[in-house]
Chains A and B, each alone.
Chain A
Amino acid sequence: MSLAEELLEHARFLANLDERTTTQANIRRAISAAYYAVFQLLAAEVAAQVSPDLPAGLREATRRVLNHTQMSNVATAFSRTGANKVKYTPKDFVLPSPISKELASIAKGFEELQAARHTADYDVIKQHYPADALSLVEKAESIFKDWKVEKTFPNAPVFLAALIFGRDWNK
């Protein structure tokens, strides 16, 4: 089982604890794990695309290059179904096909999960709800499913490359 899958499983376990007795810590950790499951899913795909497997450790180290803010900006750019020109791609670059419903859903879900993770980890004033954790974990599960479909289409490598290079392509 990959780290991403393990994190998703962990998020699922925490979110599905009895809502009558669960704690803020469980809910917050479920939300955080759901985000990191998706982050690690995409990070592994990006690293596999841009870095060789050998020498050992190079591909794993590549994941550390990814920046959460940059990834969120790219996700925003890819969140419009039907668009074929988006920010954070090379100048005048046209996507091989219009953004699919699945890719837009992955992008929107990533943004939402990242924002949720931020409040879950840092905002101690805001109350977090068990239903919110269930909803966000299900969103992460949908992203895993949608990615299985989307990764076979030609926009996938562009999206992955944008996640790591998007900020620097047009400097």
Chain B
Amino acid sequence: MEGPNFDPALGEKVRFKESLQKRPGIFTIVGVHGANDKLAQSDPLNVYGRFGMTTVDLRPEGKGLDLAFMPLDSLQYVDETRDVRRTIEWLKTSPDNRKYPDYIVDYEVQASEDHEGRPSIFVRFFIDSDYFYENGRASKEKVVALNEFLDAVRDELISLDLDRWISVRVGEARRALDVAS
């Protein structure tokens, strides 16, 4: 089974890493040339593509000229939570028969610092309370199953080596107001 899709997408915001071609500011991806794109690799301007690297075309925010065929490796995404979101979207497809519980109705991902000041990613899955509780209480089996899922997600996210502390918690989707009553 293939892993999460981390390919660059049109419209994503990036900035250059410190190490290479330092250019200040934020850029929007306006073109993507994959490592196997023979046509793009034949373009004389696509220096990095000739070495089999994925390159992107960038448009600066504000003034400035577009930059063509910039190596993806020299860039970082502005959205620090991007890979986490992509991984969760992948998990939602139940890869390798891994179960994504159907009572999870939403999730949120935030990049911030934890109480020790460590750069962290906070994930919260929101569950359907009507499914989870019966007469105001949840069964032990449901709580155990929920934690197995949360632990599996956390392990998957830790394996991304994001250099961020990872927290995966649970919340409850707000119940819709019963306006009829």
A residues with a Cβ closer than 8 A to B are 16, 18-21, 69, 72, 76, 79, 105, 108, 111-112, 114-116, 118-119, 122, 127, 129-132, 134-136, 138-139, 142
Closest 9 CB pairs of A and B: A18-B136, A118-B115, A20-B136, A129-B171, A138-B143, A129-B172, A134-B143, A131-B170, A135-B170
Q: Can you identify 7 A-B contacts, CB atoms within 8 angstroms?
A: A19-B129, A19-B138, A20-B133, A122-B115, A131-B171, A131-B172, A135-B143
Could you say which interface size class chain B belongs to? 20 to 34
- DSSP majority for the B interface? mixed
Contact B114 A115 (CB under 8 A): yes
B residues with a Cβ closer than 8 A to A are 114-116, 127, 129, 132-133, 135-138, 140, 143-144, 146-147, 150-151, 154, 158, 165, 167-172
Checking A79, A116, A142 against B147 with a beta-carbon cut-off of 8 angstroms, the contacting residue is: A142
In the complex where A112-B167, A129-B170, A138-B143 touch, is A119 in contact with B115 (Cβ < 8 A)? yes
Instruction: With both chains docked as a complex, state the minimum distance between the C-beta of A29 and any C-beta of chain B, in angstroms.
Output: 17
Q: A20-B136, A131-B171 are in contact. List 4 more A-B contacts (CB 8 A).
A: A19-B133, A21-B136, A69-B116, A138-B143
Interfacial chain B residues near A20, Cβ < 8 Å: 133, 136
